[in-house]
Structure 1
Amino acid sequence: MANSKPSIYLQNTEEVKKVFECFDTNGDGKISADELGGVLKALGSDTSPDEVARMMEEIDTDKDGHVNLQEFAAFCSGEGDPYSSAEKELQEAFELYDQDHNGKISAVELHQILKRLGERCSVEDCAGMIKSVDSNGDGYVSFDEFKKMMTNNNNNNSNAKC
């Protein structure tokens, strides 16, 4: 499946599965609208129930009311989705982590989000995660660095959880 445009979606199957498992909070192998809304809320988004429903409708291609791993993987690969929409989705994800809206993600911001998602890690752990993608050494993740991390271009198989 060659594509002349660089994809800004998750491309690594294991990364897609890890993200899916973060959304699938009850571990039943599918993401419900409530689970999607809950994760978005935990990330600090004030996404309305109508917007969550629209997102579910877009991703739930078999229309069973849930998103399974295959549907999620297709969404992450960008199948049937315009490139510009992918850029917008990635920007929105970045903004959820960028709590103070200064255009960069700090270790403290990453720690706050992971803590809300139920992950147990220290601010120092988060600083290490940031260091692994911080190409300019400023101690933060910029949108460009975030985009590179999400596209897995550097293929550095991070062991970071959700």
Structure 2
Amino acid sequence: MCPTGSVLHSATTGKPNLRSAFDVLDVDRDGKISTNDLRTSYGGFLGNSEDDVIGTMMTVADSNKDGYVEFEEFQKVLDNSRRVNVMEDVFKVMDKDGDGQVGAEDLKSYLNFAGLQADDDDVKAMIKLGRGDNDENGGVTYEGFLKILSL
């Protein structure tokens, strides 16, 4: 469990809790991911190619072609080989200044945006865990970010 109380891995299987990731992308909380949810989640991060990238995501994941990605479809797409790419994308979105590290403000901002309330102490604890030292002032690299998620 994260310091925020969110469980990112199943206690019984040790696998990532995909429901949490799905819920972050399901911005309007209607139980399915739409193109509008993805546009809101990525918040312009994808630049001029945003419509193409989101269209591709939807084409890959929407197996029943109803225009939405339900949890079961989401789960199917995120096999082990694709999880890494998804996590890299999440890290890049969180790394607003593109310096290769996610700092405390980046992490707190994204957690709050995702609906996971985190206070300064929670964020500091996550940063310490991701850095592997007692310095809570620096950011975490992608590898450190994965350490945080491995809880």
Give TM-score scaled by structure 2 length: 0.73
User: What residue number does 1:160 align with?
Assistant: none
| One-letter amino acid matched to 2:25 | F
| Contact 2:130-2:146 at 8 Å conserved across structures | no
Change (3 A) 1:17 1:86: closer
Question: Structure 1 residue 110: deviation in Å?
Answer: 0.7
Q: 1:53 aligns with which of 41, 52, 55?
A: 55
Match of 1:19 among 18, 21, 31: 21
Partners of 1:107 and 1:124 within 8 A in 2? no
The answer to which structure, 1 or 2, has the higher relative contact order (CA under 8 A, 6+ apart) is 1
Identical pairs, percent = 26
- Matching of residues 95-134 of structure 1 within 5 Å: 95-134=92-131
SS in 2 for 1:126: helix
Call closer, same or farther: CA 1:116–1:31 in 2, change over 3 Å: same
Contact 1:107-1:127 within 8 A present in 2 as well: yes
RMSD (Å) for aligned C-alpha atoms? 2.6
| TM-score normalised by the chain length of structure 1 | 0.68
Q: Check the 8 A contact 2:112/2:118 in 1, yes or no.
A: yes
Q: Which residue of 2 aligns with 1:30?
A: 32
How many angstroms does 1:22 deviate by? Answer: 1.6
Q: Which amino acid aligns with 1:105?
A: V
| 1:38-77 mapped onto 2 (5 Å cutoff) | 38-41=40-43, 45-47=45-47, 48-77=50-79
Q: CA deviation at 1:138?
A: 4.3
Residue 136 of structure 1: how far off its partner (Å): 4.5
The letter for the 2-side match of 1:40 is Y
For the residues of structure 2 that align with 1:73 and 1:109, how far apart are their CA atoms?
27
Distance 1:116 1:54, change over 3 A: same
2:141 match: 142
Contact 1:104/1:143 (8 A) holds in 2: yes
Residues of 2 paired with 1:22 and 1:130: CA distance?
A: 20
CA displacement 1:11-60 (0-9 Å, x = unmatched): 7467211111122223222111111111111xx61351222111111111
How far is 1:106 from its partner? 1.1
- Paired residues of 2:31 and 2:71 also in contact (CA < 8 A): yes
